[in-house]
Amino acid sequence: MRNLIVTTFLLLALFSNAQQHCGFDFTSYLVVDVHENGKQTNLDNIKVVLIDSLQNEVINTNNSLSWNNGNKPMIFTKNHLINKEGEKERWFFPYAKDNYLLSVTNTFPAEKYSIKIEDLSGKFKTQIIALQSFNLYILCSTENEKQSRKFGPRSNSPIEVVMEE
């Protein structure tokens, strides 16, 4: 009986060690860098939303596209600083700096959607950009490694949007 308990414990320890997961398993991000031509700073007062082929805002029905904000429109949020005054600059989502971001599932079918970028102040023209699978930030090393073996554009780069007046 004692051997059975020890064996079971060892098997569980080995299995759990072999099944270690990344903190971002099952999640990817879309990151959008929205700025004026010739400037690096991201614009404020911008709405970035996921749209379908009919240009309707996409609703995250029953969390099918993202683990966040079920049954709500898929609207990007601007990353925010989490450091205290006097500390080194730290962002809530460290890979995105001051960009706009949206959390999606790893099975997110990017090619079916576009993003709509509109300036709420009305200074810049609204833009629509079709998404591709390489637009996803894949943060777990095994998924990113698979992506790196593919030919073509690399993942983990923001979608750059230069706003035009």
Is residue 88 situated within a structural domain? yes
| Residue 38: CA count within 13 A, CB half-sphere | 1
- Nearest C-alpha neighbor of 141 from the set 151, 155, 161: 155
Q: Residue 20 pLDDT > 90, yes or no?
A: no
Percent of the chain with pLDDT over 70: 74
Is residue 126 situated within a structural domain? yes
- Nearest C-alpha neighbor of 116 from the set 68, 78, 75, 158: 75
Is residue 112 situated within a structural domain? yes
The tens digit of pLDDT for each residue in 28-44 reads: 889 999 999 988 888 98
Q: Residue 145 pLDDT > 80, yes or no?
A: no
Q: Residue 149 pLDDT > 50, yes or no?
A: no
pLDDT score recorded for residue 74:
95
pLDDT score recorded for residue 137:
80
* pTM summary value: 0.74
Is residue 90 situated within a structural domain? yes
pLDDT score recorded for residue 11:
47
Is the Cα dihedral 60, 61, 63, 68 positive or negative?
Answer: positive
Q: How many domains does the chain have?
A: 1
- Nearest C-alpha neighbor of 29 from the set 83, 110, 91: 110
Q: Residue 143 pLDDT > 70, yes or no?
A: no
Is residue 9 situated within a structural domain? no
The tens digit of pLDDT for each residue in 67-104 reads: 888 899 999 999 888 877 778 888 887 777 889 999 99
Is residue 93 situated within a structural domain? yes
> Which residues form the domain of 45?
22-163
Is residue 10 situated within a structural domain? no
